Structure 1
Amino acid sequence: MLLVLDNYDSFTFNLVQYLGELAAEHTLAADLRVERNDALTLEQIRALAPAAILISPGPGDPDQSGVCLDVLRQLSPTIPTLGVCLGHQAIAQVYGGRVVRAREQMHGKTSSVQHSGAGIFTGLPNPLTATRYHSLIAERESLPDCLEITAWLDDGTI
């Protein structure tokens, strides 16, 4: 089961829809469970034994992401975890990186994203065009070596 932790963001359900479509394309069962970031305790999530976790976008900063920081600290070392926007920032923060204000707010603006071509980027155009909705970023220079940067902008933003 893929557990999606929803940080109270409407885009979460776009991600869930895409995951369902991707599963169907590859004839996989789409065993998705969506829970708000304050609906389950860490112990309840552990008991669910998810195969993977997706931490969604959301308002605010990682400190406002409910159980997500504890999930990252306790479960992400053994359960594959993907963070999108706020989820990405939470991963950076938990592993010692800083989350800072972006030089420019990016609400509905597109950017050209370079990527490694591996993992979730396999088979995607490089660069690809992505629409961004955020005012905070994970500060590249503060990230520890245990985090691998797999996508970036020309200006170094990750």
Structure 2
Amino acid sequence: MSCRVIVVDAYDSFVHILVAYLENIGCCISLFRKDDPGLELAIQNHEFDMLLLGPGPGHPSESGYGRLLDINQGRLPVLGVCLGHQAIGLYYGCNIKYASRLMHGKTSNISHDGLGCFSSYGTQDFCAMRYHSIIVSEDHLPSHLTVSAKSTDDHYVMGIRHRTLPIEGVQFHPESIGTEDGDRILKNFINTYIVNESGLCNG
């Protein structure tokens, strides 16, 4: 596996663990800060296979990720983590709300549909680490999105997936030590959307 991944850093230290996970599974990483002037050009060229919108502080409306999704126009498969997940939801018409309780450094069991980035988990729930106070609301979910995962304790949306584009988001942190086998989320995403039958990434 030699996928070329753009990882966007929204000024969050967790992104470097995501980079390490991706490198460990054989990906070639180009890391950009979210306000790097070279980022938009990188998304527009044809040298990459995937775009990862990383976690970070603040509201998704202020992340600048919507602009990146505009530029991408569904060409590159996109995985959003935490802030990236929220930004994907906001971009595609979801309601974004503040959670009734803070979930910073707390774990939850995650139920999921076993598809996309959850494809190797079968029907088994797994434990994941959460660091967030903002959620993608399930209320009035746009028809082009589906909820792919939820927390079993407070029943918040923990994953969304576009029905026709290679785009997913996860609210929890797959790179955290508190998430069971979190690297599988990344592997599953790559295997679902990027790896072709020969086992190589698309050019």
Aligned residues: 151
For the pair 1:56 / 2:51, whether they are aligned, the reply is no
Match of 1:26 in 2: none
For the pair 1:145 / 2:139, whether they are aligned, the reply is no
Unaligned runs of 5+ in 2: 158-203
Unaligned runs of 5+ in 1: 24-29
Match of 2:106 in 1: 109
**Do the aligned partners of 2:44 and 2:71 also contact (CA within 8 Å) in 1?**
no
The CA distance in 2 between the partners of 1:75 and 1:45, in whole Å, is 6
For the pair 1:21 / 2:19, whether they are aligned, the reply is no
Give the partner amino acid of 1:73. Answer: D
Percent identity (aligned): 38
Corresponding residue SS for 2:85: helix
**Do the aligned partners of 2:15 and 2:54 also contact (CA within 8 Å) in 1?**
yes
For the pair 1:6 / 2:3, whether they are aligned, the reply is no
The CA distance in 2 between the partners of 1:153 and 1:42, in whole Å, is 34
The CA distance in 1 between the partners of 2:143 and 2:59, in whole Å, is 23
The CA distance in 2 between the partners of 1:123 and 1:87, in whole Å, is 22
1:114 Cα shift? 0.5
Higher relative contact order (CA 8 A, sep 6+): 2
The CA distance in 2 between the partners of 1:124 and 1:22, in whole Å, is 18
Match of 1:65 in 2: 63
Alpha-carbon RMSD across the aligned residues, in angstroms, is 1.7
**Do the aligned partners of 1:59 and 1:86 also contact (CA within 8 Å) in 2?**
yes
1:48 Cα shift? 5.6
Matches within 5 A, 1:116-131: 116-124=113-121, 126-131=124-129
Does the C-alpha gap of structure 1 residues 44 and 54 become closer, same or farther in structure 2, counting only changes over 3 Å? closer
**Do the aligned partners of 2:12 and 2:55 also contact (CA within 8 Å) in 1?**
yes
Match of 2:29 in 1: 32
The CA distance in 2 between the partners of 1:134 and 1:35, in whole Å, is 23
Match of 2:199 in 1: none
TM-score, L = length of structure 1: 0.87
Does the C-alpha gap of structure 1 residues 120 and 90 become closer, same or farther in structure 2, counting only changes over 3 Å? same
The CA distance in 2 between the partners of 1:14 and 1:99, in whole Å, is 26
2:86 to 85, 89, 97: 89
**Do the aligned partners of 2:9 and 2:34 also contact (CA within 8 Å) in 1?**
yes
Match of 2:95 in 1: 98
TM-score, L = length of structure 2: 0.69
1:99 Cα shift? 1.2
Runs of 4+ in 1 over 3 A off after TM superposition: none
Give the partner amino acid of 1:108. Answer: G
